[in-house]
Amino acid sequence: MKFSLYLLVNFFKAFTLISVGSVVFFIIIDFVGNIKMWLLKGMDQVAEYYLNYLPYIIYLVSPVALMLTAIASVGAMARHLEISAMQGAGKSPSKILLPIIIAGAVITVLLFGISERILPNANYRRLEIAETRIEQRKNPRIKEKHQFVFIGSDHSDWYFRYYNGIEKKGQQMSLVLQSNGKPIARYDAKNIEWGDSSWVLSDGWARYFTQDGNLSAYKFRTMDIGKQTSVLPEDIINERQSHEEMNTKQISRRIEILRRSGEDTQKMETQWHFKYSGPVTALVTLVIALSLSHKYKRGGSLSHQFGIGIILTFSYYIVVRVGLQMGENGILEPWLGAWIGHIIYGTVALAMLFRSFRL
């Protein structure tokens, strides 16, 4: 128990130091690379940008930081024969390394929590501040639309001559509500606006269809239709176009909307699965690093272990990205595109670890 605590303390000391250094290094490189943009913005915006960027940087550098930490801390203990001494006392390598593997699993869960709870809003605000860079992206933010049809998940058909997603207002709209494939109501209004929690129409006509084919109609000045539809403003136009700005629930809703509109959902489905598979990178890289560092090898060196670890980690990143591209382009199923890199390198990591136990 004392050795496990000693092992974890050394591990987390190194992890904290390496993580802080990696984050600082990352911020410096990003700041210098975007210096022209920062010259056009105030220091308060720069500070807010990097404050919102910080969770994403931590998410990105954590797998590499875990790999470097394991090689530095566990590797150093192996070279000082501390792990060999514990093995000589009858403790198996798997039990010695189990606390660190559990710590890696906890960090993986925390990274998933960050990607769900913190990253969506932080990334949204960060990209909003860097507006000039966003405009150069392939998928710019859509803030308004003209003359389009939207199909709701509640069997409602919407037509807008104009709609503004920022103000949540539209002009010259028509809404048809259906039940069992038959229209039950139609609303035509000059203006529509999202109120506190529902849609409010103004200057229009309401028409209701009965089962026997009768029609009743009347003109209204204002009408709240909140209880008749579940469509939200972000369903019609959502500024959060990138998966980095959404959690799994928001991505699922976006997939449903794209499907109803007849658009391709392959990319979003792949990214939905990657929301779950992405954090696993941290645990896999940790296992790879442990397999390289926990056993003392005469003539070996930490630099040699670092080199192998870095090569394996970055090749792992490449395979994951290739898998994502194949999933997004329809070459692989979305779930397989998101998981194939982790399956391959997870298998390799376990094989390396068990092999190191037997040597």
- With a cut of 50, say whether residue 257 has pLDDT above it: yes
Average pLDDT of the residues in 285-289:
95
Q: Cite the beta strand spans of 142-284 per DSSP E.
A: 144-151, 156-164, 169-179, 182-194, 199-209, 215-224
Percent of the chain whose predicted confidence (pLDDT) is above 90:
56
Instruction: Give the integer Cα–Cα distance in Å for 33 and 308.
Output: 29
- Please say if the pLDDT value at position 300 is more than 60: no
Asked if the model's pLDDT at residue 140 lies above 60, the reply is: no
Can you tell me which residue has the tokens 């999933």? 327
CA dist 266 → 38, 141, 253, 294 (Å)? 36, 20, 14, 41
pLDDT in tens, 207-220: 999 877 788 899 99
Phi, psi of 111 (to 5 degrees): -65, -40
Domain range summary for the chain, segments of one domain joined by +? 2-132+267-358, 144-238
pLDDT band at 259 (very low <50, low <70, confident <90, very high): confident
Lowest-pLDDT range, 43-47, 170-174, 284-288, 312-316? 43-47
Q: Which pLDDT band, with edges at 50, 70 and 90, does 235 fall under?
A: confident
- Residues whose CB is less than 8 angstroms from the CB of residue 10 and which lie 6 or more positions away in sequence, other chains included: 73, 77
pTM for the predicted model, two decimal places: 0.80
**Residue of higher predicted confidence among 75 and 49:** 49
Range scoring the smallest mean pLDDT among 15-29, 106-120, 288-302, 333-347: 288-302
pLDDT at 139 over 70: no
Closest Cα partner for 341 from 310, 311, 317, 312? Answer: 317
State phi, psi for 152 to the nearest 5 degrees. -85, 160
Residue range 3-57, pLDDT digits in tens: 788 889 999 999 999 999 999 999 999 999 988 888 888 888 899 999 999 999 9
Helix locations, the chain, DSSP H = 2-33, 35-38, 43-69, 75-79, 82-88, 93-117, 119-129, 131-134, 233-236, 248-260, 266-277, 280-293, 302-328, 334-358
Given this model, what pLDDT does residue 226 score? 82
Going from the C-alpha of 291 to that of each of 69, 285, 315, 347, 352, the distances in angstroms are: 13, 10, 17, 13, 6
Spatial contact of 162 and 145, defined as CB atoms under 8 Å apart: yes
| pLDDT value at residue 131 | 67
With cut-offs at 50, 70 and 90, classify the pLDDT of residue 346: very high
User: Mean pLDDT score of the chain, rounded to an integer?
Assistant: 88
Cβ-Cβ contacts under 8 Å for 195 (sequence gap 6 or more):
224, 226
Q: Are 95 and 306 contacting, i.e. CB atoms less than 8 angstroms apart?
A: no
